[in-house]
Amino acid sequence: MSTPPFLDIEGITVRFGGLTAVDNLSFQVQRGTIHALIGPNGAGKSTTFNCISRYYQPTMGCIRIEGEDVTHHVPTRMARLGVARTFQNLELFSELSVYENVMLGCHSHSAHTLGGLLRPPSGETRDLVDSLIERVGLTHDRHTRAIELDFGHQKLLELARALALKPRLLLLDEPAAGLRNSDIENLDQLLTELVQRDGITVLLVEHVMQLVMSISNRITVMSFGQKIAEGTPKEISEDPLVIEAYLGKGAAHV
Ligand SMILES: Nc1ncnc2c1ncn2[C@@H]1O[C@H](COP(=O)(O)OP(=O)(O)O)[C@@H](O)[C@H]1O
Ligand SMILES: [Mg+2]
């Protein structure tokens, strides 16, 4: 028997009133790869993420992680399965420091009780937090409140917090938005390292095509809730349908 894909999305549909945000979408993400989900604004990318992390319930279809049907799991159970995410519009504790935000990410897996949450962190946890802050390049802002960072650096902070969960699958919603070119190069390197060294599987929503094309193993393209193409970066960048629906228009070329 062949091993199942790490993530298997089979025919999911999401409706908001009369609007079909995701329309019978299927794709598979293989273990240890970077898989990008791209397409114009409103295509249904974030809604798909919200289904996988279980914030939204698809009206139809099935989501599996390593063959296990997770379509009805609660979000905390997904975290325990090793699924972590960042948000397009940030979900940080704005008044807390960089350090405290990442520390709270660690607590999601170590503390299942209030007592555990209130206990001072172990040296091991503090080291983990420091190393994650360093990996995303925020060491100098360790004590800065999240609200004082610019948008790009807040996104890096969210990435560090997601990594604190020690995820096996990382869902990143526009991690390069607001980043300067030098920061994008660092992100490119970090994501490659997360996959190659730490064995994490990444599903990436991103408009910065320079990043998508350089790091993705495979790309799924959505438009109006549907999958319109799938392939390698080379195949996608040459696909007339994709150029017409997205690359020729909305994609950010850096
Ligand atoms: N909670 C919601 N309620 C109603 N409509 C929504 C909601 N979330 C997303 N939508 C709509 O669903 C469509 C897909 O949105 P989204 O998944 O955010 O697209 P993308 O991330 O690809 O830009 C859009 O038309 C959007 O307005
Ligand atoms: Mg979105």
Residue 160: phi and psi, rounded to 5, are: -60, -40
Which residues are near ligand 1 (CB < 6 Å)?
16, 19, 21, 39, 41-47
Q: How do residues 193-251 score in pLDDT, each as one tens digit?
A: 999 999 999 999 999 999 999 999 999 999 999 999 999 999 999 999 999 999 886 56
Q: How do residues 132-158 score in pLDDT, each as one tens digit?
A: 999 999 999 999 999 999 988 998 999
Q: Cα–chain-centroid distance for residue 85?
A: 5
In this structure, whether the domain defined by 1-82+168-254 belongs to CATH 3.40.1180.10 is answered with no
Is the four-CA dihedral 52, 58, 61, 62 of positive or negative sign? positive
- Kindly report the pTM of this predicted structure: 0.90
- How many Å apart are CA 247 and CA 40, to the nearest integer? 9
Q: Which helix or strand (DSSP H or E) is residue 64 part of?
A: strand 60-65
What's the count of helices (H) and strands (E) in the chain, helices before strands? 10, 10
**Which one-letter amino acid corresponds to residue 182?**
S
Residue nearest atom 18 of ligand 1, based on CA coordinates = 46
* Minimum-distance ligand 1 atom for the alpha carbon of 173: 21
Boundaries of every domain in the chain = 1-82+168-254, 90-166
Give bridge partners of residue 252 from the DSSP assignment. 208
Residue 19: phi and psi, rounded to 5, are: -90, 130
Neighbours of 244 (CB within 10 A): 12
For residue 47, the CA-to-ligand 1 centroid distance in Å is 6
For residue 138, the CA-to-ligand 1 centroid distance in Å is 31
